Amino acid sequence: MHSLKHRLNRKPHGARRGIKSAVIALIASVVVASCTQEYYDTGDNTYSYVRADFADAYTNGNKQLVSATTDEGDSLVFSAPLTCSWAEQSDTFYRCLLYHDHDTRPTIARSAAYVLVPPVYDRQQISAEIKTDPVEFESAWESTNGRYLNLGLSIKLGQNDGETGSQRIGLVCDSIVSDTLGNSTTYLLLYHDQNNVPRYYSTKTYVSVRTTDLPIAPKPGNSVCFTVNTDDGLVSRTITFD
């Protein structure tokens, strides 16, 4: 398993080779990792005018976020670098939910929440038990730019003896089914290992899948079906490419 200090937001070159057991991306025990300015407050104050966008944010040589490209295609240059504890690599990009002032140029970046981007593993490559501990499923959608499929989830957290452990999250390709017209559906199962973390309260998090990491081409007619285990049973959502 990868430790939390080696997050998988970099491009997973060769991620499918040499897998003998379940190598699943870790998600932070505090799922929405923080930046220098952590919270977005509602009301008539500075943060009332903040916009939230899913984006690929880029770091400078000091591991600070300095620019971003949103899923809507907007290129943003920050007025000041944004320091985030989870941005541990220089000169690279991270998937995040970016909070920024929506009408400023250069852009005033307020904070950014880390978004996990795990690779997709074939079920046959995983010899260990596939964990499906329950989460709360909220939403599934395709990014406007077509680069990502996204899941909105809530994860239960808590502490044992004052410490919060790490949970494990990933995506497993269960099967691929083709119809008589040649269209294919990829069935992805959410891997989630609660890892003995108490389930005292919920926190919202997001998981994104690069469409280039899918085992089928994201062409019109093809689709992806996500299956997530919840406290109320299995929930499935299908996204069909236009």
- Half-sphere CA count of 70, side-chain side, radius 13 A: 19
pLDDT score of 53: 97
CATH number for the domain formed by residue range(s) 117-240? 2.60.40.2370
Q: Which residues of 81-109 are buried (b: 16+ CB within 10 A; e: fewer)?
A: bbebebbeeeeebbbbbbbbbeeeeebbb
* Pick from 14-23, 118-127, 159-168: least confident: 14-23
pLDDT score of 160: 73
| Second-level CATH architecture of 46-114 | Beta Barrel (2.40)
More confident residue, 128 or 186: 186
**What sign has the CA pseudo-torsion 89, 93, 98, 100?**
positive
pLDDT at 25 > cutoff 80: no
In the chain, which segments carry CATH 2.60.40.2370?
117-240
Output the average pLDDT for the chain.
Answer: 82
The arithmetic mean of pLDDT across residues 65-88, rounded, is 96
In the chain, which segments carry CATH 2.40.50?
46-114
Q: Tell me the per-residue pLDDT of 156-204, one tens digit each, with 9 for 90 and over.
A: 988 776 666 688 899 999 999 999 999 999 999 999 999 888 898 898 9
